[in-house]
Structure 1
Amino acid sequence: GEKTQEDISHNYAFDPRQADYYANAARYLGLVTKDDNGDEVSFSLTAEGRRVLNLRYKDRQLGLANAILRHKAFNEVLNLHLQYGEMPQRQDIVVVMKGCDLYRVEAESTYYRRSATVTSWINWILALQR
Protein backbone atom coordinates (compact mmCIF):
# COMPACT_ATOMS: atom_id res chain seq x y z
CA GLY A 1 0.00 0.00 0.00
CA GLU A 2 0.85 3.64 0.07
CA LYS A 3 3.45 4.95 2.50
CA THR A 4 3.99 8.54 3.59
CA GLN A 5 7.47 9.88 4.29
CA GLU A 6 6.53 9.74 7.97
CA ASP A 7 5.70 6.02 7.58
CA ILE A 8 9.03 5.46 5.85
CA SER A 9 10.88 7.33 8.60
CA HIS A 10 9.16 5.36 11.34
CA ASN A 11 9.22 1.89 9.74
CA TYR A 12 12.86 2.01 8.69
CA ALA A 13 14.32 4.16 11.50
CA PHE A 14 15.27 6.92 9.04
CA ASP A 15 15.18 10.57 9.91
CA PRO A 16 12.82 12.59 7.65
CA ARG A 17 15.71 13.75 5.45
CA GLN A 18 16.81 10.13 4.88
CA ALA A 19 13.22 9.10 4.16
CA ASP A 20 13.01 11.86 1.55
CA TYR A 21 16.32 10.76 -0.02
CA TYR A 22 15.37 7.08 -0.24
CA ALA A 23 11.84 7.77 -1.45
CA ASN A 24 13.12 10.07 -4.20
CA ALA A 25 15.90 7.62 -5.10
CA ALA A 26 13.30 4.85 -5.49
CA ARG A 27 11.22 7.23 -7.60
CA TYR A 28 14.22 8.06 -9.80
CA LEU A 29 14.79 4.33 -10.31
CA GLY A 30 11.15 3.83 -11.32
CA LEU A 31 10.34 1.68 -8.28
CA VAL A 32 7.76 4.00 -6.70
CA THR A 33 5.41 6.78 -7.73
CA LYS A 34 4.80 9.93 -5.71
CA ASP A 35 1.20 10.83 -4.95
CA ASP A 36 0.67 14.40 -3.73
CA ASN A 37 -2.92 15.05 -2.71
CA GLY A 38 -2.18 18.48 -1.23
CA ASP A 39 -2.32 17.57 2.45
CA GLU A 40 0.04 14.64 2.35
CA VAL A 41 2.60 13.11 0.04
CA SER A 42 2.64 9.33 -0.24
CA PHE A 43 4.56 6.80 -2.29
CA SER A 44 3.32 3.62 -3.96
CA LEU A 45 5.28 0.79 -5.52
CA THR A 46 5.21 0.57 -9.30
CA ALA A 47 4.81 -2.81 -11.00
CA GLU A 48 8.61 -2.88 -11.38
CA GLY A 49 9.05 -1.98 -7.70
CA ARG A 50 6.75 -4.84 -6.67
CA ARG A 51 8.58 -7.22 -8.99
CA VAL A 52 11.99 -6.32 -7.55
CA LEU A 53 10.85 -6.39 -3.92
CA ASN A 54 9.29 -9.82 -4.35
CA LEU A 55 12.60 -11.34 -5.45
CA ARG A 56 14.88 -13.29 -3.13
CA TYR A 57 17.65 -11.24 -1.50
CA LYS A 58 20.45 -11.69 -4.06
CA ASP A 59 18.12 -11.32 -7.04
CA ARG A 60 16.58 -8.24 -5.41
CA GLN A 61 20.03 -6.67 -5.04
CA LEU A 62 20.75 -7.45 -8.69
CA GLY A 63 17.36 -6.00 -9.64
CA LEU A 64 18.27 -2.76 -7.86
CA ALA A 65 21.66 -2.71 -9.59
CA ASN A 66 19.91 -3.20 -12.93
CA ALA A 67 17.53 -0.31 -12.19
CA ILE A 68 20.52 1.91 -11.37
CA LEU A 69 22.49 0.92 -14.46
CA ARG A 70 19.57 1.71 -16.78
CA HIS A 71 20.59 5.32 -16.19
CA LYS A 72 23.32 6.42 -18.56
CA ALA A 73 25.44 8.35 -16.03
CA PHE A 74 25.74 5.34 -13.70
CA ASN A 75 26.39 2.97 -16.58
CA GLU A 76 29.14 5.17 -18.03
CA VAL A 77 30.83 5.72 -14.67
CA LEU A 78 30.82 1.97 -13.97
CA ASN A 79 32.34 1.35 -17.41
CA LEU A 80 35.08 3.91 -16.71
CA HIS A 81 35.78 2.25 -13.36
CA LEU A 82 36.06 -1.17 -15.00
CA GLN A 83 38.20 0.21 -17.83
CA TYR A 84 40.73 1.96 -15.57
CA GLY A 85 40.51 -0.20 -12.45
CA GLU A 86 39.53 2.66 -10.15
CA MET A 87 36.71 5.09 -9.52
CA PRO A 88 36.94 8.17 -11.75
CA GLN A 89 37.70 11.47 -10.03
CA ARG A 90 34.71 13.56 -9.00
CA GLN A 91 35.32 16.15 -11.71
CA ASP A 92 35.35 13.36 -14.33
CA ILE A 93 32.05 12.01 -12.98
CA VAL A 94 30.59 15.52 -13.26
CA VAL A 95 31.68 15.64 -16.94
CA VAL A 96 29.90 12.31 -17.55
CA MET A 97 26.78 13.57 -15.75
CA LYS A 98 26.72 16.79 -17.78
CA GLY A 99 26.80 14.71 -20.95
CA CYS A 100 23.69 12.82 -19.85
CA ASP A 101 21.20 15.72 -19.69
CA LEU A 102 20.14 14.97 -16.14
CA TYR A 103 16.65 16.12 -15.23
CA ARG A 104 16.52 19.31 -13.13
CA VAL A 105 20.27 19.56 -12.58
CA GLU A 106 21.84 22.85 -13.55
CA ALA A 107 24.01 24.21 -10.74
CA GLU A 108 27.63 23.10 -10.58
CA SER A 109 27.22 22.44 -6.86
CA THR A 110 24.32 20.07 -7.58
CA TYR A 111 26.40 18.11 -10.10
CA TYR A 112 29.23 17.90 -7.59
CA ARG A 113 26.93 16.75 -4.77
CA ARG A 114 25.17 14.18 -6.97
CA SER A 115 28.52 12.84 -8.18
CA ALA A 116 28.97 11.55 -4.62
CA THR A 117 25.73 9.58 -5.03
CA VAL A 118 26.96 8.14 -8.33
CA THR A 119 30.20 7.08 -6.63
CA SER A 120 28.38 5.51 -3.67
CA TRP A 121 25.89 3.62 -5.80
CA ILE A 122 28.61 2.30 -8.14
CA ASN A 123 30.69 1.20 -5.13
CA TRP A 124 27.60 -0.58 -3.78
CA ILE A 125 27.13 -2.38 -7.11
CA LEU A 126 30.79 -3.40 -7.19
CA ALA A 127 30.53 -4.74 -3.63
CA LEU A 128 27.76 -7.13 -4.73
CA GLN A 129 30.33 -9.39 -6.35
CA ARG A 130 32.05 -10.03 -3.00
Structure 2
Amino acid sequence: MSCTTTVHGAGLNTNGCGKLPNEGDYTFSGLATFQDSSYFGCPCKRFFLDGVDQGNGYIFYPDAYVVSTTCVVVVPKYDCINGACTLATIHNTNGLYASLSDCEVACGTGCSGKCVSNADWAQIESLSNQIMNRNCNT
Protein backbone atom coordinates (compact mmCIF):
# COMPACT_ATOMS: atom_id res chain seq x y z
CA MET A 1 0.00 0.00 0.00
CA SER A 2 1.24 3.49 -0.85
CA CYS A 3 -0.04 6.47 1.14
CA THR A 4 0.20 10.25 0.97
CA THR A 5 -0.71 12.35 4.01
CA THR A 6 -1.20 16.09 4.35
CA VAL A 7 -0.78 17.59 7.81
CA HIS A 8 -1.37 21.12 9.09
CA GLY A 9 0.77 22.69 11.75
CA ALA A 10 3.83 24.63 12.70
CA GLY A 11 7.15 23.71 14.22
CA LEU A 12 7.64 24.12 17.95
CA ASN A 13 9.87 26.96 19.10
CA THR A 14 11.45 25.50 22.23
CA ASN A 15 12.48 28.98 23.36
CA GLY A 16 9.27 29.84 25.21
CA CYS A 17 7.18 26.97 23.77
CA GLY A 18 5.70 29.10 20.98
CA LYS A 19 4.98 28.36 17.33
CA LEU A 20 7.59 28.85 14.64
CA PRO A 21 6.39 31.08 11.74
CA ASN A 22 6.18 28.09 9.37
CA GLU A 23 2.54 27.15 9.92
CA GLY A 24 0.90 25.58 6.90
CA ASP A 25 -0.03 22.37 5.12
CA TYR A 26 2.72 19.83 4.45
CA THR A 27 2.40 16.69 2.32
CA PHE A 28 4.42 13.55 3.04
CA SER A 29 4.76 10.22 1.23
CA GLY A 30 3.61 7.71 3.80
CA LEU A 31 1.03 7.31 6.53
CA ALA A 32 1.53 10.20 8.96
CA THR A 33 0.43 10.23 12.61
CA PHE A 34 1.08 12.38 15.67
CA GLN A 35 1.75 11.46 19.28
CA ASP A 36 1.37 13.89 22.19
CA SER A 37 4.72 14.46 23.84
CA SER A 38 6.94 17.13 25.36
CA TYR A 39 10.18 18.65 24.15
CA PHE A 40 12.43 20.68 26.46
CA GLY A 41 9.48 20.92 28.83
CA CYS A 42 7.11 22.22 26.14
CA PRO A 43 3.99 20.31 25.09
CA CYS A 44 4.24 19.17 21.49
CA LYS A 45 3.29 16.50 19.00
CA ARG A 46 5.94 14.11 17.70
CA PHE A 47 5.58 13.21 14.04
CA PHE A 48 5.57 9.62 12.81
CA LEU A 49 5.70 8.49 9.19
CA ASP A 50 4.73 4.87 8.52
CA GLY A 51 5.07 4.26 12.26
CA VAL A 52 8.64 5.63 12.51
CA ASP A 53 9.40 8.66 14.70
CA GLN A 54 10.87 11.28 12.35
CA GLY A 55 13.09 12.79 15.05
CA ASN A 56 13.61 16.24 16.49
CA GLY A 57 13.43 17.96 13.10
CA TYR A 58 9.70 17.14 13.03
CA ILE A 59 8.41 18.43 16.38
CA PHE A 60 5.04 20.15 15.85
CA TYR A 61 3.14 22.65 17.96
CA PRO A 62 0.33 20.89 19.94
CA ASP A 63 -2.52 22.04 17.64
CA ALA A 64 -1.11 20.19 14.58
CA TYR A 65 -3.47 17.75 12.89
CA VAL A 66 -3.80 15.42 9.90
CA VAL A 67 -5.74 17.11 7.07
CA SER A 68 -6.11 14.10 4.75
CA THR A 69 -4.68 10.68 3.98
CA THR A 70 -4.93 8.92 0.63
CA CYS A 71 -3.79 5.32 0.25
CA VAL A 72 -3.64 3.19 -2.87
CA VAL A 73 -3.26 -0.58 -2.85
CA VAL A 74 -0.41 -1.53 -5.18
CA VAL A 75 -1.07 -4.92 -6.77
CA PRO A 76 2.14 -6.73 -7.65
CA LYS A 77 2.59 -7.82 -11.27
CA TYR A 78 5.03 -10.39 -12.62
CA ASP A 79 7.04 -11.13 -15.75
CA CYS A 80 8.65 -14.33 -16.97
CA ILE A 81 12.35 -13.59 -17.34
CA ASN A 82 14.79 -16.38 -18.25
CA GLY A 83 12.28 -18.99 -17.18
CA ALA A 84 11.61 -17.48 -13.73
CA CYS A 85 8.75 -15.34 -12.46
CA THR A 86 10.05 -11.95 -11.31
CA LEU A 87 8.25 -8.97 -9.80
CA ALA A 88 7.86 -6.30 -12.47
CA THR A 89 9.28 -3.67 -10.11
CA ILE A 90 12.66 -5.44 -9.89
CA HIS A 91 13.66 -4.71 -13.51
CA ASN A 92 11.04 -2.01 -14.19
CA THR A 93 9.22 -4.22 -16.72
CA ASN A 94 5.55 -4.12 -17.77
CA GLY A 95 4.18 -6.86 -15.54
CA LEU A 96 2.49 -9.14 -18.07
CA TYR A 97 0.96 -11.38 -15.37
CA ALA A 98 -1.45 -10.13 -12.70
CA SER A 99 -0.55 -12.87 -10.22
CA LEU A 100 2.34 -15.15 -9.39
CA SER A 101 0.23 -18.23 -10.17
CA ASP A 102 -0.63 -16.90 -13.67
CA CYS A 103 3.05 -16.27 -14.32
CA GLU A 104 4.07 -19.71 -13.07
CA VAL A 105 1.59 -21.38 -15.44
CA ALA A 106 2.87 -19.41 -18.45
CA CYS A 107 6.53 -19.51 -17.45
CA GLY A 108 6.61 -23.24 -16.71
CA THR A 109 6.71 -26.17 -19.12
CA GLY A 110 5.60 -25.13 -22.58
CA CYS A 111 5.75 -21.38 -21.85
CA SER A 112 2.45 -20.74 -23.70
CA GLY A 113 4.46 -18.89 -26.33
CA LYS A 114 5.35 -16.08 -23.90
CA CYS A 115 8.85 -17.10 -22.89
CA VAL A 116 11.72 -19.11 -24.31
CA SER A 117 11.91 -22.75 -23.19
CA ASN A 118 15.23 -24.25 -22.06
CA ALA A 119 15.40 -26.35 -25.25
CA ASP A 120 14.84 -23.31 -27.48
CA TRP A 121 17.41 -21.31 -25.52
CA ALA A 122 19.96 -24.14 -25.94
CA GLN A 123 19.32 -24.12 -29.70
CA ILE A 124 19.77 -20.34 -29.85
CA GLU A 125 23.08 -20.62 -27.99
CA SER A 126 24.25 -23.42 -30.29
CA LEU A 127 23.42 -21.48 -33.46
CA SER A 128 25.04 -18.35 -32.03
CA ASN A 129 28.26 -20.28 -31.32
CA GLN A 130 28.23 -21.71 -34.86
CA ILE A 131 27.92 -18.23 -36.35
CA MET A 132 30.60 -16.86 -34.06
CA ASN A 133 33.04 -19.64 -35.05
CA ARG A 134 32.34 -19.36 -38.78
CA ASN A 135 35.11 -17.89 -40.91
CA CYS A 136 33.40 -15.23 -43.01
CA ASN A 137 36.41 -14.72 -45.33
CA THR A 138 35.90 -17.94 -47.30
TM bracket, shorter-chain basis: under 0.3
* TM, length-normalised to structure 1: 0.19
Bigger-Rg structure (1/2): 2
Q: 1 or 2 for the larger relative contact order (CA 8 Å, sep ≥6)?
A: 2
Larger fraction in helix: 1
* TM, length-normalised to structure 2: 0.19
Larger fraction in strand: 2
